[in-house]
Structure 1
Amino acid sequence: MCMTTTVLEAPVRQSERSLAPDLARGAMLLFIALANAANFAFAGQPGIDPAPHGLQRLVNFFMATFVDSRAYPVFAVMFGYGLVQLARRNGNRVLLRRNAALVAFGLAHATLLYFGDFLGAYGVVGIIATLLLVRRGDRLHRVVLWLWGFQTLYAVVLAVTAFAGAHGGTAGVSNSPNPSLAAESYGRSLLDRLAEWPVHTATVLPFIVIVWLGIWAARRRVLEDPAAHRGLLRHTAAWSLGLSTLGAVPYALICAGLVHAAPGTVEAMARVHAVTGEYGGPGYVALFGLAALRLGGRAPRVLAPVVALGQRSLSGYLLQSVCWLALFSPWALNLNGTWTAALAAVAVWAGSALVAQAMSERGYRGPAETLLRKFAYR
């Protein structure tokens, strides 16, 4: 399958947008908010109360099963998908400028707001993908399906090994501290983030395999024409979300305080949880593709704010970090706790969706999107 390119060097028009990608980005920003707000609230990862009580157990179980390590792969798939959409309309120069700008955005975001930035990593992966992957033929892109096949086999072996070596004990989940989140002043947190961001970025770069899967899907226009790929979307949603959920449940039970195990067993279940979390990316994306198909490609009024936020996902993502810094930093409001984090995440996400809808009705793009376009298209 060849990828035809019409070099216009101009951003995509509103009328050319597909529903599924915008709906997926807008909705999944809620999960990103839940994960990052909890990270701030507990000043560490995974951002879970190690001694939950009552309904906190349910929140911990939900977070570990459906959110942690399962939200960011959605954006990785969509990033790869978007690279192909941009490549069809623009030359490599636009893609390279855009991804270089993402690296700069990431550095600013990580330095000023939050070490757990993904924008810089997206920029680096985007440059690599533009140079080596996006315009290559089908024979090369079939490799990514084999890579996911091998990873699935590895996930199964990892899970079997973890269960075979499981032992009971008294250990639970503990948060790995992030100094910048516990810093007593903004200046101290800024210095800590400068040290934390490069390490974090290096550890997440392997998600290029998830991005590559998005490239493969975009070359087949899976989300632009979900009706023609209904079977693929159904099977992907069922198998990917099934594997993601099954791989998460043992660790989720530990996070909820319903199961205790030996420290080694907790670590083994955490590894299974992380590896199977990558399947949340294609699984959730396929689910939103099916939802767009069911909606006939047009969002009902109740979903309009979510779609508007998805069209301004970069601005929404950066706004979230500003809110978490103000709400949870020890030198600011210093809020904490499971319920505070969850309620703040929902409130900030809902508020940003309403603001995005108001901007959409007035024909305004997001400020971050506008700035990124200026870099990319000059």
Structure 2
Amino acid sequence: MTIQHTLPAADHRGPVTGKERALAPDLIRGAMLLLIGLANSANFAFAGQPGVESAPHGFERLLNFLKLTFVDARAYPVFAVMFGYGLVQLARRQRSSGATPGAVRRILLKRNAWLIAFGAVHATLLYFGDFLGAYGIVGIICTLLLLNRSDKFHRIIIGIWVLEIGYVVFVAVQAIATTIASSGPAHALTNVPNPSLGAASYGESLLHRLHEYPLHTASVIPFIIVVWLGIWAARKHILENPAAHRTLLTRVAVVGMSITVLGGLPLGLVGAGWLHVDEAAVDSLTMLSHVSGMFGGPGYIALFGLLVARITRLTLPVRAISALGQRSMSGYLFQSVAWMALLAPFTMDLGHRFGSTAYAALGCAVAVWLVSVIGAYTMSRRSYRGPAETLLRRLVY
């Protein structure tokens, strides 16, 4: 007699396979890592924020303008939206494999707890402006309070974003009034120093980061409303089939990019030295730039969604950038290692070895991003997920 043994079904499934991935999310993450690099490399090079030349000349004026108008406070909301999108995708895959609701919750809580740990290590060793830890905290909140809600409940986030538009308009009116009333001496846009970025030794920078990281993480937790928008979008499968949502994506792109560009434009003009206002006006325009920046998240994502809807052939650049998007955590951490090696005062300090700190930051950002794209594509050809993703998956699954 043959005895057959029936194995119990696993209460969760492993990580997503390559064939299951949608193009749009990966392409968005890979491409937007360039903007993250442009922002963070400048912070390192100038040892402060927003990381711009205070007295720009020539091409530096254009660099300041483009960075303040299209990058600062506009790149990280993209990843916040995509983080929320990924939470739903992960939960959906677990449920489709037969995992129980309790198992799905345990996997999500475990994964986000490890993100907090990854963030703490990243912030302590490399860069205080870490977002992984904040993602982990927000991910736990979303898992416990948002993911299992009804479609009707999730409509609340649309109302919140409509209110945010009203708030941006209110801030814009104040900024315009302050700018018109500007009468004091012209105030140049200056960098707010970050002690860890200007430290003379690695040990000194580490001690500063231990103080800076908790404050930075607490300050960005409110981006949960950006993450929540990603949750709503994922429930609608918008990026899995962008062609079917072209009308919605077009409207979001127009509204989102209009608000984020117009909101950053005045500060960009000040940073370029083309608009001269007093200190009070600069403060008002900085506030406007920050509150309008969150609309860059859905705006940029909608633009990429429309781009993917038009792609008929996966060219080499698309495959390579998407490969980086599949390994976005490794790419993000690689950037911090690169900035520490290339731009810190106690390492190569390239920001002060060239005629222009802005040029050095730009060159480093583009070069490091290109290296990460090439590296990610090489990994994809060898079916290697990436070091950070591999470690996280082993810890979670």
Q: Within 5 Å, which residues of 2 pair with 1:15-164? A: 15-90=19-94, 91-164=104-177
The answer on whether the counterparts of 1:226 and 1:293 sit within 8 Å (CA) in structure 2 is yes
Kindly state the Cα deviation for residue 170 of structure 1 after the two structures are TM-superposed: 1.1
Correspondences of 1:248-259 after superposition (within 5 Å): 248-259=264-275
8 Å Cα contact 1:237-1:284 kept in structure 2: yes
What is the match of residue 100 of structure 2? none
Residue in 1 aligned with 2:283?
A: 267
| Residues 1:304 and 2:319 are matched in the alignment | yes
Distance in 2 of aligned mates of 1:352 and 1:228: 32
Distance 1:9 1:324 in 2: 36
SS of the equivalent of 1:98 reads helix
Aligned to 1:338: 358
Q: Aligned partners of 2:344, 2:379: CA distance in 1, in Å? A: 29
Cα displacement (A) at 1:259: 1.1
SS in structure 2 opposite 1:261?
A: coil
Q: How many residues align?
A: 371
Q: Is the 8 A contact 1:9 1:94 kept in 2?
A: no
One-letter identity of the residue aligned with 1:331: F
SS at match of 2:186: strand
Partner of 2:354: none
| SS of residue matched to 1:223 | coil
Match of 1:367 among 387, 390, 395: 387
| Contact 1:38–1:341 under 8 Å retained in 2 | yes
Q: Distance in 1 between matches of 2:320 and 2:203?
A: 36
**After superposition, what is the alpha-carbon deviation per residue over 1:34-61, rounded to whole angstroms, capped at 9, x for unaligned?**
0000000000000011110000000000
Counterparts of 1:196 and 1:76 in 2: how far apart (Å)? 21
Shift of 1:375: 1.6
In structure 2, how many angstroms separate the alpha carbons of the residues matched to 1:10 and 1:92? 14
Cα separation, 2, equivalents of 1:270 and 1:158:
10
- Segments of 5+ residues of structure 2 without an aligned counterpart are 1-9, 95-103, 352-356
> Residue 349 in 1 paired to residue 372 in 2?
no
Q: What CA deviation, in whole Å up to 9, does each residue of 1:283-322 have, x standing for no partner?
A: 00111111111014x5322222111100000000000000
Distance 1:57 1:225 in 2: 40
User: 2 CA distance for matches of 1:266 and 1:63?
Assistant: 16
Task: Give the letter for the 2:385 counterpart.
Answer: R
Contact 1:299 1:307 in 2 (8 A): no
- For residues 130-152 of structure 1, give each alpha carbon's deviation from its aligned partner in whole angstroms, at most 9, with x where no partner exists: 01001110121111011101110
Distance 1:341 1:34 in 2: 7
Cα distance, 1:9 vs. partner?
Answer: 2.4
Q: Which residue of 2 aligns with 1:14?
A: 18
Matching residue of 2:307: 291
Q: Is the 8 Å Cα contact of residues 309 and 357 (structure 1) preserved in structure 2?
A: yes
Which residue of 203, 206, 215 corresponds with 1:190? 206
Q: Distance in 2 between matches of 1:40 and 1:235?
A: 36
Give the superposed CA RMSD. 1.1
Aligned to 1:376: 396
**What is the distance in 2 between the residues matched to 1:94 and 1:152?**
35
Q: CA deviation at 1:7?
A: 6.2
- 1:331-363 deviations in whole A, cap 9, x for unaligned? 111121000000000000001100100010011
Distance 2:163 2:282 in 1: 24
Task: List, as ranges, runs of 4+ consecutive aligned residues in structure 1 with deviation greater than 4 Å.
Answer: none
Distance apart, 1:8 and its partner CA: 3.8
- 1:226 Cα deviation from its structure 2 partner: 1.0
- 1:317 alignment counterpart: 332
**CA shift digits 1:75-117 (9 cap, x unpaired):** 0000000000001122111111110000000000000000000
Residue 3 of structure 1 corresponds to which residue in structure 2?
none
Moved more, 26-35 or 159-168: 159-168
- Measure, in 2, the Cα distance between the counterparts of 1:302 and 1:155: 36
2:148 aligned counterpart, secondary structure: coil
- Residue type at the aligned position of 1:352: S
- Taking the aligned partners of 1:153 and 1:350, their CA distance within structure 2 comes to 39
Give the aligned residue type for 2:343.
Answer: F
Rounded to whole Å, the distance in 1 between the matches of 2:70 and 2:307 is 18
Q: TM-score, normalised by structure 1?
A: 0.97
Say if 2:354 is the partner of 1:358. no
